Amino acid sequence: MGYPIDYEQMDRPVITEGICPLCSGRGMIRNENGFLSFCICYFNKSLRHLEPIPRLKEPTKLSKALQQRGVWIISVPEYPMGRICLYDIHLRRALIDTYWSGVSSFTWKDLSPNELINICWNQRERRNEMLIKPDLLSIKMMSWSLSDSAYDTICEIISDRTEANRITFIASPNVTKDLKFVNKQFDEWFQKMVSGKHGISLNWGSKVPETYDDQPPPVPAISPIPLKIMVRE
């Protein structure tokens, strides 16, 4: 499996193993003003599944959305098939920029709609901790084919997070004004979002991105120690 990368927009990821060379494992570094701040390795712990993703060179629109807070609909191309990789690339940059801006604590969750609904319906005791408490809830809507009751649940979460002044990203490769939903509440909300100022569109640009292998290299097999036969005299 390969991961798409446009070398004009982004660099290959840098994955560090072992003790961080910047902070020598302390988790803190001294900045230009002489004050201590968290090292990037500290933040990478909360970005574990985004670490092998290409690093965006320039700031992203998502950073501004994090600063303004609220709910955002994010249109992103589906490339390669079945993956919205560009969203992950921009999300990683936005989160790192947020951490580097001096925010002492920032929590986030990345969920599919099915995971969200499962928590609400079958794990009610985890609802607030998993879905309302995080500063950012990222929902990847690869498909809008959900039941009417499922959309009721999503609207409930969006409403509760808005009241709590939390940030919600809903990313999808299918964001158009002609989308209509059976669920009236969600349909009205979606049309308002698409027509308003809380919509963001991400694209690859004019170039078709290349791909590189995003799988870790296989661990070399260690030859077993040869068996020594002791001969008793």
Q: Is residue 220 part of a domain?
A: no
Q: Is residue 146 part of a domain?
A: yes
Q: Is residue 157 part of a domain?
A: yes
Q: Is residue 231 part of a domain?
A: no
Sign, CA dihedral 123-125-126-127, equals positive
Q: Give 61-94 pLDDT, tens digit per residue.
A: 999 999 999 999 999 998 877 789 999 999 999 9
Q: Could you give the dihedral angle defined by the CA atoms of residues 177, 178, 179 and 181, in that order, rounded to the nearest 10 degrees?
A: 110
Number of domains in the chain: 1
Bridge-based pairing state of the strands 71-75 and 210-213: unpaired
The whole-angstrom separation of Cα 168 and Cα 108 is 10
Instruction: List the strands of the sheet with 167-172, edge to edge.
Output: 108-111, 136-140, 167-172, 71-75, 199-201
Residue 215's pLDDT is: 58
Ramachandran angles phi, psi of 112, nearest 5°:
-85, 160
Q: Is residue 128 part of a domain?
A: yes
Please list the rounded mean pLDDT of every run of 10 residues in the chain (233 residues): 82 76 80 76 75 88 93 91 89 88 81 95 94 96 93 96 96 91 94 89 85 58 48 44
Residue 233's pLDDT is: 41
Q: Is residue 229 part of a domain?
A: no
Q: Is residue 218 part of a domain?
A: no
Smallest Cα–Cα separation from 8: which of 232, 205, 225? 205
Q: Is residue 37 part of a domain?
A: yes
Residue range of the domain that includes 183? 2-213
For residue 88, give the CATH number of its domain.
Answer: 3.40.50.300
Q: Give 14-25 pLDDT, tens digit per residue.
A: 766 678 877 887
CB 202, CB 87: distance < 8 Å: yes
Smallest Cα–Cα separation from 88: which of 103, 74, 68? 74
